[in-house]
Amino acid sequence: MSGLRNKTGLIEAAPGIRKGLAELPGHLNAETISAGLIAAIFGCTGPPLIIMNAAMAAGYTSVQTISWLCSVCVFGGLLSLILALRYQQPITGAWSIPIAVMLGNTLTFFNINQAVGAYFLAGVLVLLLGVSGLVGKVMRLLPIPIVMGMIAGAMIKFGTGMILSVQALPVVCGSALAGYLVCTKFANRIPPVLGALLIGVATAFFTGSIDFANSQYAFVLPSLFAPEFSLDAFLSISIPVAILVIGAENAQATGVLLTEGYKPPVNFMTIASGVGGILTSFFGGHNANIAGPMTAICASDAAGKDTEGRYAATVVNGVLFAGFGLIASVAVTFIESVPRPLIGVVAGLAMIGVLTQAFEQAFSKGKFKTGAFFALVIAMSGISIAKISAPFWALIAGVVISLIIEPQDFKKA
């Protein structure tokens, strides 16, 4: 396997970017290109709607929203290129959907400069965990079932919001939902979320619910924001973001790569995610990190039987994903023209896989069930104490309750 381990140093040894580039043309084929394209379509359709929802809830301007979306996509794409070429493994970068979901409830308490400061500190935390090699110890203190229970609770509103959206705009949203079901059942080559979006937009256009004529499309560069630091933002944003980057994204990507027979560079992946968080923060982005779902697509059999060459799928995805970030201003303008209920439906459909997986990982193992349950319901409640939002309290309460009720599970872990 091309992913070598450096057993004496902190950063795992690698074949190197030059070797990855030299061998790349031989691995670019219909399978790797199509897998990279599918991963990019997934990342560029439903998930950006999550950022749009969070930005709208926070009262962000179009310029601030564009900068946020542009930064996470461009730097996420760059992470894909660097890690895939360096290690010749399908290690795919993007941004965290669960974090964007969490921010939909949290950003209302802070201005954008405070959010930027919190994102920066989250990146520093992740970087320090990677440099120190303490990632494993931290994750043992934050069991995956409890983290996933919190994620499921924070994300459940997208499922209920999808139903309420159909009630609010039945014809348009109903057609989008039907498009998703048809693509899932009969046209599996078309990503179901993309099919839902296209059919929903077409229905909205023909029923007069949407008007592109008055939309002003223009290329807008991302903006720089000065960080402002506060303890409330650190507790509400920085700590949950750092935990989710490691526990919800890097851990999932690592598991996928191990399953496919790779030896993932865990320390370097963590360091890269920390640097990604620091860089994106100055542009208003919540993080650029290793992405679990997109790594799963590029590392799967869909990218070809030759596991040595699947990193080419990540390279294709990285180019397309970064390119999407560069035209984020056009994407944001388009999405702003779409009826809000339709956005709610498509965002909910995009969350099905992530949400069901969160429930499965929270409760299927039989460990930390009580802690995961309390993390779930506290996150669902949306409670806020001292300007610190529910996800933080969900994690704290889940761990404390498990330590009291289920101490044997920590010993087994």
Mean pLDDT of 11-31: 90
Per-residue pLDDT, 386: 67
pLDDT in tens, 298-340: 888 878 888 899 999 999 999 999 999 998 888 777 777 778 8
Q: Which pLDDT band, with edges at 50, 70 and 90, does 9 fall under?
A: low
CA nearest neighbour of 241 among 406, 410, 95, 75: 95
Residue 119: Cβ-neighbour burial (10 angstroms; 0-12, 13-18, 19+): buried
What does the pLDDT read at residue 79? Answer: 96
Q: Determine the pLDDT at residue 212.
A: 65
Total residue length of the chain: 413
Residue 6 pLDDT: 46
Whether 7 has a pLDDT exceeding 60, the answer reads no
359: CB partners within 8 A, 6+ apart? 148, 152
pLDDT in tens, 337-386: 778 888 788 878 877 877 887 888 889 888 899 999 999 999 888 787 76
Residue 184 has pLDDT above 70, yes or no: yes
Q: What share of the chain is helix, strand, coil (3-state, %, to 5)?
A: 75, 0, 25
Domain ranges of the chain: 17-166+212-412
Mean pLDDT of the chain: 85
Provide the pLDDT for residue 215. 64
Q: Which residue has the higher pLDDT, 401 or 364?
A: 401
User: What local confidence, expressed as pLDDT, does residue 413 receive?
Assistant: 63
Q: In this predicted structure, what is the pLDDT of residue 110?
A: 92
Mean pLDDT (whole number) for 104-116: 90
